[in-house]
Structure 1
């Protein structure tokens, strides 16, 4: 059987803005595939094309072997879709939303309860509460339940954890791992680079173009340069100083450190240390580190 999601040469423009350019990839059976990129990279546009809500200007795509243009009605019956914005009925209760979506697909909550059980049990104490009164994390769990209630063969999740607290984000990804064990292929988008490592494979996207497609581990392994974490008392002055250093290849802020690569690698490290000492930076630390997916993304998009 063909892979459940196949994207081939998709282009999409909005006037003079090129939202997607030559996007091609495949999602395999029971795979958790991540589309990783910042806001405005084209993630939601691609999701709308794959869920038959938007037409591409060029290229083609199939979902479970069905053409997204010619067989859009059939796709809508078998796909689960969770858009980036909470789109359930806020004036209905949790229970009413679930029953409503089950009825649309001519099924019931009990018919596919085994699929949503682990998620539903977390929101069951609030089943009489209006959806609009739920916390961000609970809203996302309800939306996931509604996307799964008809037992879809493919699941599309567009930035499901954006704006959700860290604990709820972690719980949500644990639920996605559980779905993978039930054989449902998942295409998920996120702007959070730390979530990339939770996927089986990822496609890094920036300004409508794919930068790399592989497992997170392989992408990190191919990072071409030695990288250091650098900090000092005055971080902004340190950032300006390192970027002005002639042998600096890249320098970006990452939390409480700067991540720095040098043109000649370790051969330039002593020169950098001497240069920073001359500038009288205090409480300075320079540590060798392993590159992260975010480091790889910054290097690929430079």
Structure 2
């Protein structure tokens, strides 16, 4: 039985501007796949295609053997955008309850799930605080908690740890590793090199093209580089 959860071979244009050029990836159950590249390289566009938020200009994306976009699959994907989609006038608990209801979390499980995900992101003491009073880093952590609420099989996270302090960032990555071990596919965009080192596999993106992919060790060996940063510069040079 195949473990591939996502297959994509896509190009994307906005008007005359080509944002993704013939990108092909296959993503597996129980791995953390990192998309590494500078701002404007096409990472966010690619993850939006993977989630069915946008459609490719050419090619297709299949998730769990279904062609995207497919509304029925949304409840099986946890998506965290680069911009926090939160209701600032509501408390954290009210935000979580709302997203739990639209993502199909059973009423009997909602309280337990809300407590669990808020503990994971170290916000359990802020449940009744309005989001408008949260710092930028707290909003990122709440967005991550929302993405985790419904126990999705696939997590797609766009720059999830921006603005989060190093100790908590490490804790969040430990959570990712636990989820990976349980079979969850995690797709994460980053430009932070130490995060890239923690991924099962990496796709290096530059100017809308996938310039290399493999495990961090494979990519370093292929380029003779001692770090992922040097490997990225070698491929992009």
Q: Same fold (TM over 0.5)?
A: yes
Aligned to 2:127: 127
> Contact (CA 8 Å) 2:117, 2:148: kept in 1 or not?
no
Aligned to 2:21: 21
Q: Which runs of 5+ in 2 are unaligned?
A: none
Between the aligned partners of 1:176 and 1:118, the Cα distance in structure 2 is 14
Between the aligned partners of 2:124 and 2:56, the Cα distance in structure 1 is 40
> Contact (CA 8 Å) 2:97, 2:110: kept in 1 or not?
no
Query: Structure 1 residues 210, 115: CA separation in 2 closer, same or farther (over 3 Å shift)?
Result: farther
TM superposition shift of 1:117: 5.7
TM superposition shift of 1:97: 0.8
Between the aligned partners of 1:193 and 1:16, the Cα distance in structure 2 is 32
TM superposition shift of 1:73: 0.9
If asked which structure has higher relative contact order (CA below 8 Å, sep 6+), I would say: 2
Aligned to 1:79: 77
Query: Structure 1 residues 93, 34: CA separation in 2 closer, same or farther (over 3 Å shift)?
Result: same
Aligned to 1:106: 104
Between the aligned partners of 1:95 and 1:21, the Cα distance in structure 2 is 41
> Contact (CA 8 Å) 2:131, 2:139: kept in 1 or not?
yes
Between the aligned partners of 1:53 and 1:109, the Cα distance in structure 2 is 27
Q: Kindly report which structure 2 residues correspond to 1:196-211, keeping only aligned pairs within 5 A, or say none.
A: 196-211=196-211
Aligned to 1:185: 185
Between the aligned partners of 1:137 and 1:173, the Cα distance in structure 2 is 15
Between the aligned partners of 1:125 and 1:64, the Cα distance in structure 2 is 37
TM superposition shift of 1:146: 1.1
Return the TM-score normalized by structure 2.
0.91
Q: Secondary structure at the match of 1:111?
A: helix
1:60 is the counterpart of 2:34: no
Aligned to 2:227: 292
Q: What do the CA deviations read for 1:70-110 (whole angstroms, capped 9, x no partner)?
A: xx111212111000111111111111111101111232475
Between the aligned partners of 1:198 and 1:175, the Cα distance in structure 2 is 12
TM superposition shift of 1:194: 2.1
Q: Which runs of 5+ in 1 are unaligned?
A: 225-289
Instruction: Compare CA radii of gyration and give the structure with the larger one.
Output: 1
Between the aligned partners of 2:113 and 2:181, the Cα distance in structure 1 is 11
C-alpha root-mean-square deviation of aligned residues, in Å?
2.0
Between the aligned partners of 1:191 and 1:115, the Cα distance in structure 2 is 30
Return the TM-score normalized by structure 1.
0.72
